[in-house]
Chain A
Amino acid sequence: MHCHLDAPANAISVCRDAAQVVVAGRSIFKIYAIEEEQFVEKLNLRVGRKPSLNLSCADVVWHQMDENLLATAATNGVVVTWNLGRPSRNKQDQLFTEHKRTVNKVCFHPTEAHVLLSGSQDGFMKCFDLRRKDSVSTFSGQSESVRDVQFSIRDYFTFASTFENGNVQLWDIRRPDRCERMFTAHNGPVFCCDWHPEDRGWLATGGRDKMVKVWDMTTHRAKEVHCVQTIASVARVKWRPECRHHLATCSMMVDHNIYVWDVRRPFVPAAMFEEHRDVTTGIAWRHPHDPSFLLSGSKDSTLCQHLFRDASQPVERANPEGLCYGLFGDLAFAAKESLVATESGRKPYAGDRRHIFFKRKLDPAEPFAGLASSALSVFEMEPGSGSMSWFVDTAERYALAGRPLAELCDHNAKVARELGRNQVAQTWTMLRIIYCSPGLVPTPNLNHSVGKGSSCGLPLMNSFNLKDMAPGLGSETRLDRSKGDTRSDTVLLDSSATLITNEDNEETEGSDVPADYLLGDVEGEEDELYLLDPEHAHPEEPEYVLPQEAFPLRHEIVDTPPGPEHLQDKADSPHVSGSEADAASLAPVDSSFSLISVSHALYDSRLPPDFFTALVCDMLRFYAEQGDVQMAVSVLIVLGERVRKDIDEQTQEHWYTSYIDLLQRFCLWNVSNEVVKLSTSRAISCLNQASTTLHVNCSHCKRPMSSRGWVCDRCHRCASMCAVCHHVVKGLFVWCQGCSHGGHLQHIMKWLEGSSHCPAGCGHLCEYS
């Protein structure tokens, strides 16, 4: 429930009996009664004709012993006490004008009826006895502004004060000369502090550095026991009654919510109240022994009562996940059980050694109990598959530009073949066929490579081999099997593929496929209907059926594996070559094969290369999806204008950046530079223009030369002289790394052609390469 105030509130305080709340601000000072369903305005303390600055409150506090007694701190430095028992309309009781600057905080002694403490911007804390006209004692914070003062609840004589410079001081009320203890709690101002209502030594502080810290003051040195990182500077902090580890905070700026934290779980708030539309300026628990009601006042001119059970709990929305690499490249992944189960349709089953479900033992104090059920999967690295030498070799040997397209394709195909990557080689050859004049490719060569295609797969697929066969694979196999069935009698499919699909059938029969997952494949089934066409039609007359056949089929397979299956269908190595994943990767080869076998026929009918653009783009995407971004980028560069416009800029950019990143990881700087240079994407080509500045220091005084590269501002000497012509080098300067002599590039080159000694005459045998 909430009620609208006339003006922004700066602070609120609750009466001892929890039935009334006082709201104070620059132009508001009212008491509201808290009723069942609403707040009822009971009293307006802002009386008098002219509003006085004494009424512009920075803070307000209600005495916890005497329900008639209130104190306010004014922005002009006045401390005012109010007695609700006065018969007149004006309840103002006393006025203390001792502070020179704004008073930030006032605090009543928890048990003593007449003791009031104030802390001000001028750096002083003053203790007032309400029976006297002026302060009893003054405590000096050494010229640093005081932001908060709080009497200890347990120690009769102790109070804590926090300062703008980040310090917290502990004082004994009887000893105004010096503080008992001082320590730096925060970086920047400490806006607030609160003593724990039960734990005698615990003090919570909140600062501008967005931290809430809990200090144990019982030890010799204040010890930080908990630390909560919030998202904005902390304006107020209040311990939650009856909940030892809970505290509520609100922030000074930007963030309008109120959070309740469990200090032991410092990353996610236990509860969150999101009602306010502007920063919350005051929070108070309604009753010192009731943890369920929280009151708050805000700059948006509202007063709210929050019920703890209505709070939103961010933890419910969180999806805890963990991912970690082991020392030897193993990968462990843990996620909430429900997530794993729903997303991949996988279920735990008996033979699964590595798929572990476990429940954490519940700790009664554990605030988020009941959520701790998670699934853990471990993926092992297959020995030998981690080698990426093929990548390096390919990168180095590929030709990307500078020759006619046909030659480039041939060259790259050759490279791929020599590295045993027949599918890739095949692709290159096909590209050549598509985009260059036909008839140059010897057919036997083709057949040969297709024969090998089944065992190559994409190298990146080898990276992981999931030891446990998760039933999620079912869907995948199902699809393949259906394909296998429909095509098993086509002449185009070679025997190995048939064999594989047969094996699939056996293997996947045991695993039950979730029904809903199959629904997702309806589209796939439709495509199978398409496929029926080519079967009925004789493969020898492909002119009109081929396009239909080839394209949708490929498409479907590439797009099928979502999420976790990625890893699984990458499982591809000789000894598991029977696995269904292999079939998946094989499928595109099949389709392309079918394409090739009819290529002559195609060209007879003069299909323009544009006709294939969509297909090529799909192919590129396929490679990129499979993790072989190298292929995608290389083809993109080689084909250039022919396909570029059909793939959207962002995807291209993404591929380029991934490939460049990979190249740089393998220290293939030259290749990566070439790729950058050849790229047509603006974002990529400007990579080479970034951070091109070379900073030089003067060789005499070792100072940086800022304005010009050849003369030092400081020692007015020319730093780089040519050892040959003895003039200043203003352009390219080359120097020997052995003797550090050098000069104009041209001069040095010329010199070293005739002599092997350093031109400076130092006797060093310089080398120029």
Chain B
Amino acid sequence: MRIKGSKETLRLDKRIRVSQPLTRGPSAFIPEKEVAQANTVDERTNFLVEEYSTSGRLDNITQVMSLHTQYLESFLRSQFYMLRMDGPLPLPHRHYIAIMAAARHQCSYLINMHVDEFLKTGGIAEWLNGLEYVPQRLKNLNEINKLLAHRPWLITKEHIQKLVKTGENNWSLPELVHAVVLLAHYHALASFVFGSGINPERDPEISNGFRLISVNNFCVCDLANDNNIENASLTGGNFGIVDSLSELEALMERMKRLQEEREDEEASQEEMTTRFEKEKKESLFVVSGDTLHSFPHSDFEDDMIITSDVSRYIEDPGFGYEDFARRGEEHLPTFRAQDYTWENHGFSLVNRLYSDIGHLLDEKFRMVYNLTYNTMATHEDVDTTMLRRALFNYVHCMFGIRYDDYDYGEVNQLLERSLKVYIKTVTCYPERTTKRMYDSYWRQFKHSEKVHVNLLLMEARMQAELLYALRAITRHLT
């Protein structure tokens, strides 16, 4: 028992300190009652949690996702599979890889969660002191973690070769695929955590009487770091409502028009290409302009934090997303989606090397892509396919993946600027997401719909990372 006790303190010790959330409930962005409402209704969620949750309790992520129970099931199932079921990697390693992945985005929420799990599955506590303490083999994963998180298009077969090259610390291909799936999953999940403003977990022990001494003004991921601003925007929100009503109408109008126009409008090939390029280029401005506005000091803050707690799990903390478009100067070839699709190629490879995960991921992607309630804000019976596709493809566009059969002009028509800002932030620099960004797009839409958007972004990102990584592995194999 004594051992357990010491582990307990160690665990608390290794946790990254987080400021007490200013809002209650699972998410800082979504009012508690929105989530709770859905929750009480749902017995199914509880069942799913019991079945698949590794921690055995309803964490905040699950609570927010439970707004979409259908999706939640496939999400939990695949996550459970990669963490707990048969797989080439030992359990503690899996959690450590999750920690490494989450650390790339300084997502303390996920790090804490997996520090717990890591110790619980028998991980060596020393590893939590940082990367210098882990075996070289895990450390080797750093490079690919870094690239995958921020610039997946840079992954080449040389990276893969380096890892699998026979030697003392080599990775077998199945192990590597498992690791890559975990990395991609947790990068994407970090996007979701920040994108939906997931609050830190309340520790049951703490709620049982002890109170965590809150750390003064020490914000790590500080979701609410612009709370003051947010209040301001709330007061100013009234004028927005009028706006947003017409906004919504306009969006629906555009969707309808696009659908009808389709047949008559014939864009030439060159134009299509330019549209993709344009979208790529524009995505470049989207945030860079905005960052300056809303984060005059955020970079500075981030750096401070990075040096403290999270950085021990990563190397080269300065490495971040760089616009794909900007790299166009070096003529990085666009990834042609049709040449390496998830359905045809990715699935086969992943399933071959890490059996059954392919089916689970396949189901998850399919689920999120096809999920619809045929509603848009207050309107019912709307076909949202176009919107979903635009979101999905826009994310892929930012990672340089192009669909031949998609007219990128649609993105421009359907996704307003504030939404683009949000998308770009969530997928590329999730740690910078703020409540204001979350609030500023689609003001008329329900929170559950915004969560749906987040799910789409998360899965699109995961798929993009997987496609790049798997393509590199395929090239290594041939």
- Seen from chain A, the residues whose Cβ lies within 8 Å of a Cβ on chain B are 26, 50, 52-54, 56, 58, 74-77, 97, 99-102, 121, 164, 188-189, 191, 208, 232-233, 235, 252-254, 256, 277-279, 300, 703-707, 713, 730-731
Contact = CB atoms under 8 A, between A and B. Distances in A.
- The winner among A74, A191, A233 for most chain B CB atoms within 10 A is A233
A50 B56 contact: no
A727 to B, nearest CB: 13
B343 interface: yes
B1 A730 contact: yes
B404 A56 contact: yes
B338 A75 contact: yes
Contact of A254 (B1, B57, B352, B359): B352
Given A56-B404, A252-B348, A713 B56 contact: yes
Contact of B344 (A26, A252, A278): A252
A54 B269 CA distance: 8
B55 A731 contact: no
Nearest to A74: B404
Interface string B309-343: 00000000000000000000000000010110001
Contacts of B120: 707
Contacts of B352: 232, 253-254
A58 to B, nearest CB: 7
Contacts of A188: 347, 359, 362
Nearest to A97: B266
A147 B371 CA distance: 22
List the 7 shortest-distance A-B pairs measured between CB atoms, nearest first: A706-B56, A75-B404, A253-B348, A52-B269, A76-B404, A75-B338, A77-B405
B338 A102 contact: yes
A108 B355 CA distance: 39
B347 A208 contact: yes
Given A50-B269, A253-B345, A253-B474, A704 B56 contact: yes
B269 A189 contact: no
B262 A279 contact: no
Contacts of B405: 75-77, 99-102, 121
B214 to A, nearest CB: 23
Given A191-B344, A254-B349, A102 B1 contact: no
Contacts of B348: 208, 232-233, 252-254
In terms of DSSP, what is the predominant structure of the interface of chain B? Answer: helix
6 contacts: A77-B405, A102-B404, A121-B405, A189-B344, A208-B347, A254-B477
Given A56-B404, A706-B56, A252 B345 contact: yes
A586 B338 CA distance: 72
Interface string B259-275: 00010001001101100
A638 to B, nearest CB: 33
Interface residues of B, number: 30
Contact of A256 (B262, B336, B338, B478): B478
A77 B403 CA distance: 11
B167 interface: no
Contacts of B474: 253-254
Given A75-B405, A252-B344, A58 B50 contact: no
A656 to B, nearest CB: 22
Interface in B366-381: none
A529 to B, nearest CB: 46
B135 interface: no
A707 B56 contact: yes
Contacts of A278: 478
Contacts of B362: 188
B25 to A, nearest CB: 19
A731 B56 contact: no
Interface of B: 1, 50, 55-57, 120, 204, 262, 266, 269-270, 272-273, 336, 338-339, 343-345, 347-349, 352, 359, 362, 404-405, 474, 477-478
Nearest to A56: B404
Contacts of A164: 343
Contacts of A99: 405
B178 to A, nearest CB: 17
A334 B345 CA distance: 41
A731 B4 CA distance: 10
A205 to B, nearest CB: 16
Given A208-B348, A278-B478, 6 more contacts: A26-B339, A76-B269, A208-B343, A253-B348, A253-B349, A706-B57
A53 B343 contact: no
Residue of B204, B272, B362, B405 with most partner-chain A CB within 10 A: B405
A278 B476 CA distance: 11
A254 B364 CA distance: 24
A233 B55 CA distance: 36
B268 to A, nearest CB: 8
Contacts of A279: 478
A128 to B, nearest CB: 16
A9 B180 CA distance: 29
B478 A76 contact: no
B338 A58 contact: yes
Nearest to A253: B348
Given A164-B343, A252-B348, A100 B262 contact: yes
A50 B270 contact: yes
B162 to A, nearest CB: 21
B86 to A, nearest CB: 13
A278 B344 CA distance: 15
Nearest to B339: A26
B404 A53 contact: yes
Contacts of A704: 50, 56
Nearest to B205: A707
B1 A277 contact: no
Nearest to A251: B348
Contact of B1 (A208, A300, A731): A731
Contact of B273 (A53, A232, A253): A53
A150 to B, nearest CB: 19
A254 B352 CA distance: 9
A542 B19 CA distance: 86
Contacts of A58: 338
A487 to B, nearest CB: 51
A102 B338 CA distance: 8
Contacts of B1: 730-731
Contacts of A300: 478
A97 B477 CA distance: 37
Given A75-B404, A703-B50, A713-B56, A189 B338 contact: no
A97 B1 CA distance: 72
B274 to A, nearest CB: 12
Contacts of A102: 338, 404-405
